[in-house]
Structure 1
Amino acid sequence: MTPMTLLRRMALPLLFALVPAGVVAAADGQAPKAAAHAAPAAAATPPGAAIASAHALATDAGMEVLADGGNAFDAAIAVSAVLSVVEPISSGIGGGGFFLLHDAKSGRDVFVDARETSPEAATPERYLDAEGEFDRDRATNGAWSAGIPGLPAAFVHIQQQYGRLPLSRTLAPAIRIAREGFPVYGRMARGYEARRTVMERYPGTREVYLAGGRPIREGDLFRQPDLARTLEQLAERGFDGFYAGDVGAKLVAGVNAEGGQWTAAELAAYRVREREPVRFRYRDWDIVTAPPPSSGGIALAQMLQILAPYELSKLDEAHRTHLVVEAMRRAFRDRTFYLGDPDFVDVPQRLLTSPDYAAGLRATIHPERATPSDLLSGAPTPLEDEETTHFSIIDAEGNRVGATQTVNLLYGSGLVAPGTGVLLNNEMDDFALKPGTPNAFGVMGFDANAPAPGKRMLSSMVPTFMLSDDRIAVLGTPGGSRIITMVLLGVLGYDAGLSAADVAALPRYHHQWMPDAIQAEAGTFDVATAQALRAMGHTVVRPEDEVAEGRRSSDAWGNFQTVAWDIAGKRMEAGTDPRNPVGKAEVRATKP
């Protein structure tokens, strides 16, 4: 048995064994009442800083900036920028992201929305072939798959509004690494091989990824001089260094040369949005999380409020999983029909996050039988694996950042705009380009998430804060539509008293309404549990079964990154996903 399998098997029972004992559900159907607690940061500050990210170079850059007098927001720029250089498989300045910030001095939480936006020319008709069928290649590859990037604008905004250090300092590690290079790691090389046919369509991409005369291999020193120069322009000129001038012109020309239709005006018109986070109560925790255009925060609120009255520790593994899956099923059903960019559609957020609404959903759950997803279909409203990355930061002042950023699928669109080093996203596939047609992650949407000029596509990214009297945690992960359910399991893990490292390592399972199946990592369910779930009417997809039947399935999900401040224990914690060998979690004490 591998250490990873052993850890998974140990962690899952431990998660629920540590949940406080009590009745299976409150008699009135409501969540157990929890005493309100004062904001811990008002009475104390952390005894150090903690950063967890998907690459050691990014974590090191964040710590370097903190040591130079920067705060968590400066460190976030540094970490994000380095990830943009060393994780092109997952994110980059040609993509976008969400930053959940807490300013310790003011006590304010804010959500910085740097999601990509739809170009004006990207109408739904552009994604249909001659027969009127959905053109998957155009939606996921090349110029038409790319939205207007948002991540560079986020760097500028966060520096101006929250940081202490200039961009020339916070972007310096990323510039240095892009110019001098870093070793190609296994996941990066494998991802390139999987996307090679698409990426080698484009001259700008070939110039970067075939610079040595052959495709990149594990152990190669990977240099990106054009990207270094683009980052230097961003550091020197701020917003205009990317969205206008020489870089902006090259981005527009690169897209249009491949048949796309970007304009300089819409590139220069991009703006980040500051939004109010979603807030709700789960047992002894205040949860602060992502609002639309993320679907994750609303879904997380629904799932946790559905589950709050149940004492999951009283149940066997199959019945516990059954209830969690039924909560997942209902939240993803609502995601399909109701969620989109709040600047363009009316999202019924207050209703969807209401405890009373959750109670109504809970009443439809049979304790012994799965609910077939087609029974929840109702009617539509009128006419985020290895892709993506997350990092978590708490500094010694109590500032904190949870950030999730992406280019969508592996290496995004595959298109590097010549002369920029910028690998563009393929986020247009996250729109409902054809209503009712699943995207690359198998999730559907309707008019609420249809493209429109300047509109932001729906996302599953859900950076999240958890606060109790004794502990504060920052958590998040990549993984497409599985992001939401992995964060759900992470919240349950912290509620059960697990450490940050154990939360990052938890085994994972997922249900997203359609397709109507429980998906799971290898080692999550033993044979008996899988059989019990099937007896309840669930379809269970285990990688072990697929291997036995000659099919393939991903054996590990996500790249979970989390940090926590144990207030009672006066210590910092950091956990990086053991599934990712190049990630790094680090704690540095600043007080005895």
Structure 2
Amino acid sequence: MKRPIWILSLLLVVCSHPCFAKAPFSNDYAGMAVVTEDGRGAVASVNSIASQVGLEAFANGGNAVDAAAAIAFTLGVVDSANSGIGGGCFILVRWADGSIEAIDGREMAPVNATQEMFLVDGEYDPSLSKTGALAIGVPGSVAALDYLLKKGGKLSWKEAVLPAVNIAEQGFSLGSHDAKRLARTASRLNQFPASAAIFLDKDAQAWGAGHVLKQPDLARTYQLLADHGSDYFYRGDFAKQVASWMRVNGGRVTEKDFAGYQVLLREPIRTTFHGYDIVGFPPPSSGGVAVAQILNILENFPLKQLTEIDRYHTTIEAMKLAFADRAQWLGDADFANVPKGLIEKSYAKALANKIDAAKATQVKGHSTPPKSTTDIFNRHTTHIAVADREGNWVAITTTLNTSYGSKVTIPGTGVLMNNQMDDFATKEGVPNAFGLIGYSANKVEARKRPLSSMSPTLVLKKGKPVLTTGAAGGPTIITQVVQILVNRLALDNSLLKSMEVPRVHQQWQPERTLIDPSVDESLRKGLDARGHQLADWPGFGTAQSIALENGRFVAVSEPRLKDRMSE
């Protein structure tokens, strides 16, 4: 298979980078955030191979849109536990002309989906929404990236896809983090022969660190995608292969479901915080609403003057209130009435008044925002941040849901499929894989998009973008983003410091509060004394951010990743 000259150039550039001193590519989950040598662009992603591909898009004359798309496609090869073309994404983009769009590439329930499909002999079986055919929704990432590139990219569709073809063909050396994740998931991957053939050895054991993972079927699928565009995926052979596998294995997704998939353009969530404009993603993301709601609550407190213990206590209590509302009110706004009052400042003030400064309080349930029935919105994960001097800022959060998604690889394609159906409230009041509870607003319905915690976020000052951030980590995405914004915008920390500060997470149910193991012992004791049930959480997601500081781009990849790699 011949490659264009620029691909050969890419190989030389990538292999000369310190992260890729040897061929094949070496997977590095310490993350990579870097500004281009000429200062005209910046990239941040969880994976150094992917970030380097983004830099090469800039070097080839592309902009932030091209770089972001190239990174996303590459992550589907080197970070397939978290993302890929078998999943979905939310894209929040600030175009060079100053307009902002929320591009909804979330997975969609098939037409034949029902709440009852997760019942066995009349009893709810939670495994069905997590593993196998019924867990799979119609993927949307390809369609969303297609829209993004066609509207604002400078390079061609092929130039965005082809770097990933080369990496899938040549292979990359698994890191210790890859090996650990595979080992944890091996027994479930082994249920599906096409997945086992890629990720496990002949004895059904997970490949270890140092193994060169080559994915020829995935390379072939990406090549066909590069050659024929998104129609190959949604109306061509790929859709037929998925539908064929579904028919044999009891799934619900059909060729018509693929052909009927549409990217939706949503009105972004907008609020203010300490003099900055905050732009987030609307439903079916719960992230934009919850981030805005928590920030609105916290704005009622003098955060900079509070002691550290007071600040953490107040933040935990605000999270608790917002997540209780999330469970009741949030869902796909095309199907459920999601009140706009959730992000009203007056409602946030009323919630802030419920916080007891001296002790943790029990939140028994949701509150009711103003005009809850009349003023409504229109009907495991990775984050990418890219910006350029032309004024394009792109925040993409993309996911298969839990690690390796449904664990299903469609035979002959190399593509892992999502298990996004578990993000619905498959049974009301029963926790999903992340412990989140939902009710009727997020019940399973045909062609509906499940609620997500993905929170791509843009920050503007006087109409100009100054920061973009987002994270991975299920519901901790929301609280990670909030704490980065508080530390940067309210406490005036540098971007790096804002991401290094120990994090907490409270999602209402279960009642425990997750906490960074690195917190100071005095803080831990202080929170414990106020009644917070603390649980150490060493794997606190992965955030990626880019900011303008003194007129220059600063890019920061999750600082915790480096420590995690040494575990």
Q: How would you bin the TM-score normalised by the shorter chain?
A: 0.7 to 0.9
**Structure 2 equivalent of residue 501 of structure 1:** 496
Deviation at 1:212, TM superposition (A): 6.8
Cα deviation, 1:467-504, whole Å, max 9, x if unaligned, reads 23697011011010110000000101211232333333
The CA distance in 2 between the partners of 1:115 and 1:471, in whole Å, is: 25
**Structure 1 equivalent of residue 64 of structure 2:** 72
Do the aligned partners of residues 102 and 377 (structure 1) sit closer, same or farther apart at CA in structure 2, a change above 3 Å counting? closer
Contact persistence 2:45–2:383 (CA under 8 A): yes
**Structure 2 equivalent of residue 334 of structure 1:** 325
Does 1:98 pair with 2:90? yes
The CA distance in 1 between the partners of 2:222 and 2:504, in whole Å, is: 38
Contact persistence 2:324–2:365 (CA under 8 A): no
**Structure 1 equivalent of residue 359 of structure 2:** 369
Tell me the amino acid that sits aligned with residue 485 of structure 1. Answer: T
Does 1:520 pair with 2:515? yes
From 51, 56, 72, give the equivalent of 1:59.
51
Tell me the amino acid that sits aligned with residue 310 of structure 1. Answer: F
Q: How does 1:191-590 map to 2 (within 5 A)?
A: 191-210=181-200, 215-349=206-340, 351-374=341-364, 387-468=380-461, 472-495=466-489, 496-526=491-521, 528-541=522-535, 543=536, 554-566=537-549, 569-581=550-562
Cα deviation, 1:184-240, whole Å, max 9, x if unaligned, reads 112221111111111111121122223677532111111111111111222222221
**Structure 2 equivalent of residue 171 of structure 1:** 161
Greater CA drift, 530-539 or 235-244: 530-539
Cα deviation, 1:42-69, whole Å, max 9, x if unaligned, reads xxxx952111100111111111111111
Tell me the amino acid that sits aligned with residue 247 of structure 1. Answer: F
Contact persistence 1:393–1:402 (CA under 8 A): yes
TM-score w.r.t. the length of structure 1 is 0.84
Do the aligned partners of residues 377 and 58 (structure 1) sit closer, same or farther apart at CA in structure 2, a change above 3 Å counting? same
Tell me the amino acid that sits aligned with residue 564 of structure 1. Answer: A
Please list every run of 5 or more consecutive structure 1 residues that lacks an aligned counterpart in the other structure.
Answer: 1-45, 544-553, 585-592
Deviation at 1:582, TM superposition (A): 11
RMSD of the TM alignment (CA)?
2.1
**Structure 2 equivalent of residue 150 of structure 1:** 140
Q: How does 1:35-54 map to 2 (within 5 A)?
A: 47-54=39-46
Tell me the amino acid that sits aligned with residue 84 of structure 2. Answer: G
Residue aligned with 1:346, SS: coil
Deviation at 1:346, TM superposition (A): 1.8
Q: Percent sequence identity over matched residues?
A: 38
The CA distance in 2 between the partners of 1:127 and 1:136, in whole Å, is: 7
The CA distance in 2 between the partners of 1:155 and 1:356, in whole Å, is: 37
The CA distance in 1 between the partners of 2:158 and 2:509, in whole Å, is: 46
Do the aligned partners of residues 212 and 179 (structure 1) sit closer, same or farther apart at CA in structure 2, a change above 3 Å counting? farther
Residue aligned with 1:305, SS: helix
The CA distance in 2 between the partners of 1:375 and 1:431, in whole Å, is: 19
Please list every run of 5 or more consecutive structure 2 residues that lacks an aligned counterpart in the other structure.
Answer: 1-37, 374-379
The CA distance in 2 between the partners of 1:421 and 1:124, in whole Å, is: 30
Do the aligned partners of residues 531 and 215 (structure 1) sit closer, same or farther apart at CA in structure 2, a change above 3 Å counting? closer
**Structure 2 equivalent of residue 84 of structure 1:** 76
The CA distance in 1 between the partners of 2:564 and 2:63, in whole Å, is: 22
Contact persistence 1:156–1:239 (CA under 8 A): yes
The CA distance in 1 between the partners of 2:423 and 2:257, in whole Å, is: 20
Deviation at 1:175, TM superposition (A): 1.1
Tell me the amino acid that sits aligned with residue 159 of structure 2. Answer: R
Tell me the amino acid that sits aligned with residue 274 of structure 2. Answer: R
The CA distance in 2 between the partners of 1:335 and 1:562, in whole Å, is: 25
Contact persistence 2:328–2:366 (CA under 8 A): no
The CA distance in 2 between the partners of 1:145 and 1:164, in whole Å, is: 37
The CA distance in 1 between the partners of 2:63 and 2:311, in whole Å, is: 41
Contact persistence 1:373–1:514 (CA under 8 A): no
Do the aligned partners of residues 268 and 308 (structure 1) sit closer, same or farther apart at CA in structure 2, a change above 3 Å counting? same
Tell me the amino acid that sits aligned with residue 561 of structure 1. Answer: Q
Residue aligned with 1:274, SS: strand
Cα deviation, 1:432-456, whole Å, max 9, x if unaligned, reads 0001111111111111101111110
Greater CA drift, 468-477 or 248-257: 468-477
The CA distance in 1 between the partners of 2:172 and 2:202, in whole Å, is: 14
Residue aligned with 1:233, SS: helix
The CA distance in 2 between the partners of 1:76 and 1:294, in whole Å, is: 20
Deviation at 1:315, TM superposition (A): 2.1
Residue aligned with 1:313, SS: coil
Residue aligned with 2:542, SS: coil
Cα deviation, 1:233-264, whole Å, max 9, x if unaligned, reads 22222221111222111111223332212211
Tell me the amino acid that sits aligned with residue 97 of structure 1. Answer: C
Tell me the amino acid that sits aligned with residue 565 of structure 1. Answer: L
